[in-house]
């Protein structure tokens, strides 16, 4: 690493402060270095002063190749606690991988572990009955795995890390470099600890969206099927599949290709579309249906899957100006009628013989199908499509679908206003759909990119209201708060859910993860639909914000 960059890292650390323990005078620095292909090698340096500690750190940095990913962190807020209390605190973690402090099993910090070392290896294991979003993690410490790791990291482990009566927890401040730029790491926001602080939000968002498009494109295999996903902390590939997510991920990839202007990647999107049409659909009564085959039980035809197929086919035509899939899109539209009840309501799930399996499955399906039909109408101007859009929206207004806080409804209303003009009933439903959940959206602990999509659509809707002389409909709401929450959540989604290098470097084969998006509480799961929702949400935000 070049001396100038090492000097910048040192200067940034000094500016952050907390260089030495005011009680002992000691300085503890932790250095993480990854060559991008392997997990970071972590070294703990403890000396009588920052000056002495930095000499050792500088020696390591000088030997590092210039393209390395490097984090240098100062240790502070050290707190000694009893082993019993520590064990209890770990068990109190409500979500998997939500332990957010470093831990040392000795007072001299020879066994110190950064938070991301712990979570990257999942050393604090959720209970076997842990179900994401349904039960608490009730985590326990895997001491044998930690001891094995420390032996590899340090070359030795003095004593039994499980034997002492005390454990020391700590926090850090620090910096990260990718070999070119330097970022300070967040040390204040409890859910963003150890992730970069955005220096140039617009550019950094655009840069990561470019990486995200590449990542999702790379998940398409030679035959056109996606690699469904990974559990990075477990080093496992997900081997199940989902037809809805296949087509919705193609739609998001096409959005991302439009954003990056990498038209060469359309070939892979087309390949995935053709694979999906061949392997995930069936034709019945001259109508095209998406078929979902669960691990157990009978095949299902889902209303939401029809929507995703239509959206993907229409998006491909919109981007490429090729109409080769237009007939299949209209065939899929003809399949929608099989889901309709006489009163205008939709059945959500059918069997392959078109009999009803579930009248209701999930609140999103109506919004999805209206949005899909709106995109189909924009391409075909088919009056049958327009009529069904209007009938469905009228049904949704009459049955107060605005209470659902669904981003698909927001998308659908925005598109409908372009078709039907100033329909105030649709506007009222769309505004209620967004504004009445603002406080909940702002304080969501987990990244929630579909809510960002809802916020972006809502911001667009408020502008449409005002531009069309319907600004009076905004009287019950706080537009300034909407825009504030919109920006906050966009940056939160980016920072809390993206595999930035400073996070990926603690996992197996880190370079392969960069560009992906993860669910921390599910073994840092990165699945094609995670990528889909983050890409769609962040691209729509960027396009309207900037």
**What SS3 state is found at 359?**
coil
Same domain, 188 and 294: no
In a domain, 156, yes or no: yes
In a domain, 77, yes or no: yes
In a domain, 343, yes or no: yes
pLDDT digits (tens, 9 = 90+) for 379-392: 999 999 999 999 99
Q: How many other C-beta atoms lie within 10 A of the C-beta of residue 498?
A: 26
Same domain, 42 and 150: yes
Same domain, 292 and 165: no
pLDDT digits (tens, 9 = 90+) for 19-34: 999 888 899 999 999 9
Same domain, 55 and 186: yes
Same domain, 14 and 155: yes
Residue pair 127/96 in contact (Cβ under 8 Å)? The answer is: no
pLDDT(295) > 90: no
Same domain, 183 and 328: no
pLDDT digits (tens, 9 = 90+) for 490-505: 999 999 999 999 999 9
394: domain range?
280-398
> For 434-466, b where at least 16 C-beta lie within 10 A, e where not — what string?
bbebbeebbeeeebbbbbbbbbbbbbbbbebbe
Same domain, 184 and 287: no
In a domain, 12, yes or no: yes
In a domain, 251, yes or no: no
* Cα→Cα distances 349→278, 359, 366, 374, Å: 21, 7, 12, 21
Same domain, 28 and 176: yes
What pLDDT score was predicted for residue 377?
98
| Residue range 240-264: mean pLDDT, rounded | 98
* Domain count within the chain: 2
| Residue range 78-85: mean pLDDT, rounded | 97
Single residue among 167, 197, 227 that ends a domain in this structure? 197
What pLDDT score was predicted for residue 158?
85
Same domain, 180 and 293: no
In a domain, 85, yes or no: yes
Same domain, 142 and 44: yes
* Cα→Cα distances 240→52, 142, 228, 229, 306, Å: 52, 28, 7, 9, 20
In a domain, 215, yes or no: no
pLDDT digits (tens, 9 = 90+) for 145-201: 999 999 999 999 988 999 999 999 999 999 999 999 999 999 999 999 999 999 999
pTM: 0.95
DSSP letter for each residue of 299-327: -BEEHHHHHHHHHHHHHHHHHH---TTHH
Single residue among 197, 217, 233 that ends a domain in this structure? 197
In a domain, 477, yes or no: no
Single residue among 342, 373, 398 that ends a domain in this structure? 398
What pLDDT score was predicted for residue 148?
97
Enumerate residues 6+ apart whose C-beta is below 8 A from 56. Answer: 29, 45, 47
Element spanning 143, H or E: helix 143-154
pLDDT(133) > 90: no
């Amino acid at each position: 690493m070049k001396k100038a960059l090492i000097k910048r890292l040192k200067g940034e650390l000094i500016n952050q402060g907390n260089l030495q323990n005011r009680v002992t005078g000691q300085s503890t620095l932790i250095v993480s270095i990854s060559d991008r292909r392997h997990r970071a090698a972590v070294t703990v340096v403890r000396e009588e002063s920052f000056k002495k500690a930095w000499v050792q750190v500088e020696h390591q940095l000088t030997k590092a190749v210039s393209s390395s990913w490097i984090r240098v962190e100062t240790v502070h807020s050290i707190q000694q606690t009893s082993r019993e209390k520590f064990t209890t605190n770990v068990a109190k973690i409500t979500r998997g991988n939500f332990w957010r402090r470093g831990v040392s099993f000795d007072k001299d910090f020879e066994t110190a572990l950064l938070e991301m070392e712990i979570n990257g290896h999942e050393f604090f294991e959720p209970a076997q009955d842990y179900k994401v979003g349904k039960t608490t993690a009730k985590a326990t410490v895997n001491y044998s795995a930690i001891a094995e790791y420390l032996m590899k990291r340090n070359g030795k482990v003095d004593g039994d890390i499980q034997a002492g009566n005390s454990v020391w927890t700590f926090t850090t401040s620090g910096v990260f470099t990718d070999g070119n730029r330097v970022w300070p790491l967040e040390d204040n926001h409890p859910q963003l600890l150890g992730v970069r602080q955005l220096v140039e939000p617009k550019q950094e968002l655009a840069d990561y969206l470019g990486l995200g498009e590449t990542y999702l494109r790379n998940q398409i295999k030679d035959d056109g099927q996606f690699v469904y996903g990974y559990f990075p902390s477990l080093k496992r590939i997900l081997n199940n599949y989902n037809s809805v997510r296949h087509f919705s991920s193609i739609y998001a990839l096409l959005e991302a290709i439009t954003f990056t202007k990498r038209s060469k990647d359309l070939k892979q999107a087309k390949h995935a579309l053709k694979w999906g049409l061949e392997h995930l659909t069936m034709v019945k009564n001259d109508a095209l249906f998406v078929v979902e085959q669960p691990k157990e039980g009978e095949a299902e035809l889902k209303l939401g899957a029809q929507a995703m197929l239509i959206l993907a086919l229409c998006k491909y035509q919109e981007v490429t100006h090729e109409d080769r899939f237009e007939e299949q899109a209209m065939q899929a539209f003809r399949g929608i009628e099989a889901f309709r009840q006489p009163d205008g309501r939709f059945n959500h799930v059918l069997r392959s013989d078109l009999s009803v399996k579930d009248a209701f499955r999930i609140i999103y399906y109506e919004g999805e199908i209206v949005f899909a039909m709106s995109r189909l109408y924009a391409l075909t101007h088919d009056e049958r499509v327009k009529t069904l859009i209007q009938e469905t929206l009228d049904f949704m207004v009459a049955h107060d679908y605005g209470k659902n806080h669904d981003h698909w409804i927001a998308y659908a209303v925005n598109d409908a206003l372009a078709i039907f003009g100033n329909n105030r009933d649709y506007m009222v439903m769309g505004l209620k759909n967004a504004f009445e959940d603002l406080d909940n959206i702002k304080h969501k602990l987990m990244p929630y990119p579909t809510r960002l999509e809802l916020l972006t659509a809502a911001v667009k809707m408020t502008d449409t209201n005002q531009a069309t002389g319907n600004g009076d409909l905004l009287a019950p709401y706080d537009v300034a708060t909407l825009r504030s929450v919109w920006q906050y959540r966009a940056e939160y989604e980016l920072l809390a859910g993206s595999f930035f290098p400073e996070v990926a470097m603690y996992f197996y084969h880190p370079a392969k993860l960069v560009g992906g998006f993860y669910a921390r509480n599910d073994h840092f799961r990165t699945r094609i639909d995670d990528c889909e929702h983050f890409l769609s949400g962040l691209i729509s935000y960027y396009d309207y914000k900037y």
